[in-house]
Amino acid sequence: EVQLVESGGGLVNPGGSLRLSCAVSGFTSSRYSMNWVRQAPGKGLEWVSSISSDSSNINYADSAKGRFTISRDNAKNSLYLQMNSLRDEDTAVYYCARDGRLDYWGQGTLVTVSS
């Protein structure tokens, strides 16, 4: 069974940092690109970042460029999102999702940026 489980969310002050993790199982993670997608409270879906299966191709939304860093460790079946210089508008549920099709999603982890 394919499973993605996010962790690392929480309450952080503006300007602070958080590192999100996504543990995957039930498939060979090294064969798939991975993504982070977020959803602000009561709002729609926003793609944040993607990373290719071998980490050679990385992309970011403009809202994440220069502040967020996506990475993965295929040996640990894990995906990460390092978020720095957090802003109020980064408050959202962050989901990891498999492949460009976004065919499997985790349950999400809530990031709240507030003083």
Partner 1 sequence: DIQMTQSPSSLSASVGERVTITCQASQDIRNYLNWFQQKPGKAPKLLIYGASNLETGVPSRFSGSGSGTDFTFTISSLQPEDFATYYCHQYDNVPYTFGQGTKLEIK
* Long-range contact pairs involving 99-102 (C-beta distance under 8 Å, separation at least 24): 99/32, 99/33, 99/34, 99/35, 100/33, 100/35, 100/50, 102/35, 102/37
Q: Which of 1, 5, 2 is nearest to 78 (CA)?
A: 5
Minimum separation from the CB atom of position 44 to partner 1 (A): 5
Which residue among 106, 109, 111, 113 contacts partner 1 (CB under 8 A)? 106
Query: How many CB atoms are located within 10 Å of the residue 5 CB?
Result: 14
Q: Which stretch binds partner 1 (CB under 8 A): 24-32, 67-75, 77-85, 104-112?
A: 104-112
Judged by DSSP in three states, 97 sits in strand
Site map (CB under 8 A) of partner 1, residues 8-47, x = contact: ---------------------------x--------xxxx
Output phi, psi for 80, to 5 deg.
-135, 155
Among 1, 41, 56, 62, which residue interacts with partner 1 (rule: CB under 8 A)? 62
Q: Which residue in 32, 38, 50, 86 binds partner 1 (CB under 8 A)?
A: 50
Residues that bind partner 1 (CB under 8 A): 35, 44-47, 50, 59-62, 95, 100-108
